[in-house]
Structures are given as C-alpha cells and as structure tokens.
Chains A and B, each alone.
Chain A
Amino acid sequence: MLKKLKSAERLFLLIKKLFPFTASSSKGKILNEVQQLVNNDPRSWLDAISTWKNLLKLGVREELSQRDAKPPKRKMRENETIIAKKLKTEEIQKIEENHRECQLEEQTEDTLEQRDSTTRRDKLEKEEIQKEVEKAAGAHSQEDLTFRVSCRCTGTIGKVFTSQEVGRIIGIALMKQFGWKADLRNPNLEIFVHLNDIYTVAGIPMFRAPLASRTYIKTAGLRSTIAWAMASLAEIKVGTFVLDPMCGLGTILLEAAKEWPDGYYVGADVSDSQLLGAWDNLKAAGLNDKIELLKVSAIELPLPSESIDIIISDIPFGKKFKLGKDIKTILQEMERVLHVGGTIVLLLSKDHHRLLKDCGGSHMPLDSKGTHANEPGIKKCLNPEEKTDTSERVTSSYEAGNRECSDKMLPFGSLVPVECYEVSLGKTNAFICKYKKSSASGP
C-alpha cells in the first residue's frame, strides 16, 4: 500500500535525524559523533528495525491478497517547493498510522485482480519481498541480521570524509553494538546514511526499487513522480477530455489514467517511434481503452476550438524546439483548443519559465492605470475581482505586448496563471505551472 504514494521517489523508514555534524571540529571528534549515531540510542535502532519487519510482513500479506482497496489518501505534499531526488521523508508518523490502518484493512479481503504483464512483475516483487521477510523472520534474534551500510557524504562534511570512510565507521559501530554481520552482496537490512549541510539522516529503505519505477509503465519517459504530480494539479474529473499534445512515451497520460480512470485521454506526437513506444506502454499497462493516440503536430492541432477540457504537457527542453516561434505557436494552439475554464499544466524548463515572466513584464509601462491587473502571465496570486473588467484591457495590452516582445513568447491572452512549483528532475530543475482559461479571449 505504501506503493500508492505516487509523488515520492523513494521511501525510507527513519531511524535518526539530526542536525548536521559540524565539520569544523577535528576529524577525530567527528568520527566520535558518527559513532554516537549508533551508540547513543540503540533502542531507536531496534525499534525502527522491528517496525520495518512488521511493515514487510504486512506488505507480503497485501501482495498475496492482491488488494485493490482504497489507500489512505495522502496528499503527497504538492506544496513542497523542491521534490528532491532521494526524498527522505519523516515517515515514521505516517507509517505508524499506516500500520494501524493496514491492520484494520486486513480484515476485508478483496477479489483477485487479473492483469497479465503487471502480475508478472508484481509476482517477482512479491517473491523478492517474501524472501526478504523470510530472511528477516529467520533472523529471529537480532544477532542473525545481516546488513549493509550505504552512505552519502556531501557538502562540507564531504570534504573531510569520504562516503566509504563514514560508511565503514558506522558499519563497525553497528557490528559492535548489535552483533550483526555485514553482508555487502545480499543483506537482510540496508541502512542508508546521508550526511550533508542540511541534516544528518539514517534510514531503512522500504523497497528495493525506487517508488518512481512503476510496475505498470514499461518504458518511462518523464519521471513518473513528476507526471503524477502534474496530473493531480490538473483537476481531472469524470468525462473530461485530457490532451497531451507532445506525449512522447505517454508517461503523463499513463499516470493520469491510472489514478483517474474516468477521463478521456488523448495523446499526440509527431514521432512514429515515440508513438510506438507509447502504444507498447499502454498495452503493457492495460490502458489501451482509456488512452487514444494521434499522430499530430502540436503546432497545429486538428481539433476544433474550445473542444478540450484539460491539457497537460511536458514542453520539450533543449535545442529541438527553438525558444520563440515554435513554443509560441504551440501555446497559442493549446489556448485555442481549450474550453473556457479549462486547465493547462505545463512542465517548463528554467529558460521557458523565464521567458514567460520576462514577456509579461515588458508591457507594464503601457498600462494607463498603472495597476498590475491586466498582466496576464506572471504573479501567482491574482485578484479574481480585477479580472472581470479586464477583457478589453487584456486585448489591448496583449497587442502592445505584441510589439514589445517580437521574438519572445507572447503572453497568453486569456490564460491566467494559478500555481507554479519548482521541482527537481535530478540533474536539473524545472517548473510545473498551472493555468486556467478565463473568459477574456485574446485576438
């Protein structure tokens, strides 16, 4: 059930979280502090490990009954500004709640769900988890547990110690404290330790594979956690037409259709190979009936105006789409086909995002009233009252804006920004931006 967390990358059971170690003290002192991590409070380690064992057992029982029960709806912190690559979350609280809920839900058994290819992969995972539980259960006394420490040292402390050094120290301390054996190849228990300038954290990973790798997606394009987060911002309801005009391998549509199966999903791409990949993904996930594919160019959508309710798209980064002309046309097309009141959620690179902001800013001096009301496209919190009388002003500032930003992106005539979040894609950052189409339409 923890697998139902769709926006999280990896899940760890927290053992300890502390303030960062001060790197200014002597090496010996820091070594001491690292050892203290283990020795100071052995109880917390043992507690964490028994919770972990319990969760594993529960996990296996769940998998065995192939449940499709409603997960406790946990809003995976969409308001977090940075979703880090390895999301170490303080999950102990939630896990304990989960634990109790798991126990309650266990009473009701559900029917088996038939899903060909996903069952295969699920089965493999099931077996893995079963083996793990057996190992853990087999190690009924703490002494038999084999473990491995994975350590990451970055920031100032990373300059003093290498990750291996710290890992070794912790490993030795654990062996001394609890009598566990180290097994680097196939341990029962894996301990993750992360030392950096912000925190010192030790935790146990809950799953072998990161949560971001889904059983139902064969080949992922965009990171599935980001895709899910975008879909969840889009307000998909029963019977909404959802379009992804540059769907690639269809990751966004897959995540959306999986979580919100009541929409009508259409994906479009110009590339045959991408469409084939998307088709494979759809088939593997069993979602062919929910998602339709079109070979269509985003620069001109063969759709009547105002026919789509929601558009979710990952605007391609990089050199393929020249910033400027193409992007402008794509956005205009998106705006055209969208219903009034419809929603657009875009993943923008830093450059695109900056262009949007710059462009909006350039026609500020042309506004006679000197208010910011008719600036479509920048601020996060617009006053809804001011929007009602801006229909003419929007058009005029739009035209003026036209002259100002000839080779930049045009502000959207009627798209009102609602929210914007910065997210991390691993090596780079990007922005998830949500817009709504208001009733004022551009020229």
Chain B
Amino acid sequence: MKLLTHNLLSSHVRGVGPRGFPLRLQATEVRVNPVEFNPDFVARMIPKVEWAALLEAADTLHLAEVPRAPTEGYEHDEDFLRKMHHVLLEVEVLEGTLQCPESGRLFPISRGIPNMLLNDEETET
C-alpha cells in the first residue's frame, strides 16, 4: 500500500463518518521501490493530497526529507516533485495495520493489501 493510497482511505465503521479519517498507520514491513518519475502526474496529485494525513503517515514511517507543504510554483520545482514522488509512490507498506482514529478498530495490511472488510455489526446501515 502506497502512501498515496493511504491518503485516500477512511474508516467506515458505524457512526464514525468523517472522523474516520485519517487512518493511523503502523508498519512492520516497508519496502522502497523505484518508480518511474512522471512530473506531470505528481504535479496533478499535489492538490488532491491531504497534507496532514500524509505528514502523519510519513512521520510514522520515519521518512526523511518530506516536504511539509506545497511550495510556491511547485509544478516546476523538480526537487519538490521528486521528493513528493518518493513519498507518495515509492514507499510501500507491506505489513502493518491501519487504525480508525475514532473507534480504534484495526485493519490489517497483508502483502501490501489492506483489508478493510467489516463484519455486519460494525457497518453503517
């Protein structure tokens, strides 16, 4: 699971609603993969990123050199884009957990795939 995906995920435990975001990340196995750098793609992702969530996740993973916020004119700032590319796309959590910040419910991540299935009592109607 990449951090860009983590940035999208939210808990859907019953009654939690928007307080289910962001999920707290804990990782026991992380891998860094080189991914082809596409500046256009990264630039378009930046406005969609929830920064607080990203920074929280990046800190948990002890990632260095994570930009704290988009810089002015980031679309042309290759250094910035490369750093973001690394954080969003090249870091992969293979094993770990995601925790709903409101209910405490844990969702396991296994082989890079988070399991967000809830049993019937927990789901929203």
Query: Interface on A for B, CB 8 Å cutoff?
Result: 238-239, 241, 262, 264, 266, 270, 275, 279, 289, 292-297, 299-304, 307
Contacts and interface: CB of A to CB of B under 8 A. Distances in A.
Interface of B: 1-2, 4-5, 8-12, 18, 20-21, 33, 35-36, 38, 40-41, 43-45, 48, 89, 111-118, 123-124
B36 to A, nearest CB: 8
A294 B11 contact: no
B44 A295 contact: no
Contacts of B5: 266, 292, 294
A279 B112 CA distance: 10
Residue among B11, B20, B114 with most chain A CB within 10 A: B114
B4 to A, nearest CB: 7
B8 A266 contact: yes
Given A239-B40, A292-B2, A303-B9, A264 B45 contact: yes
B117 A296 contact: yes
Contacts of A297: 116-118
Nearest to A292: B5
A300 B124 contact: yes
B41 A294 contact: no
26 contacts: A238-B40, A239-B40, A239-B45, A239-B48, A241-B48, A262-B38, A262-B41, A264-B41, A275-B113, A289-B35, A289-B36, A292-B5, A293-B113, A294-B113, A294-B114, A294-B116, A295-B114, A295-B115, A296-B114, A302-B9, A302-B10, A302-B116, A303-B9, A303-B10, A304-B18, A307-B8
Nearest to A240: B44
Given A239-B45, A289-B36, 18 more contacts: A264-B41, A270-B117, A292-B2, A292-B5, A293-B112, A294-B5, A294-B9, A294-B113, A295-B114, A295-B115, A296-B117, A297-B116, A299-B123, A300-B12, A300-B124, A302-B20, A304-B10, A304-B21
B33 A289 contact: yes
B73 to A, nearest CB: 18
A270 B114 CA distance: 11
B22 to A, nearest CB: 10
A72 B21 CA distance: 45
A295 B116 contact: yes
Contacts of B1: 292, 294
Contacts of B40: 238-239, 262
Contacts of B112: 293
B124 A303 contact: no
Contacts of A289: 33, 35-36, 89
Nearest to B90: A289
A275 B2 CA distance: 17
A394 B123 CA distance: 29
Contacts of B36: 289
Given A289-B33, A289-B89, A300 B118 contact: yes
A175 to B, nearest CB: 55
A304 to B, nearest CB: 5
| B4, B33, B41: most-surrounded residue (chain A CB, <10 A) | B41
Contact of B117 (A239, A241, A292, A295): A295
Contacts of A304: 8, 10, 18, 21
Contacts of B43: 239
B89 to A, nearest CB: 7
A302 B102 CA distance: 14
A238 B44 contact: yes
A300 B118 CA distance: 9
Contacts of B10: 302-304
Contacts of B123: 299-300
Nearest to A290: B35
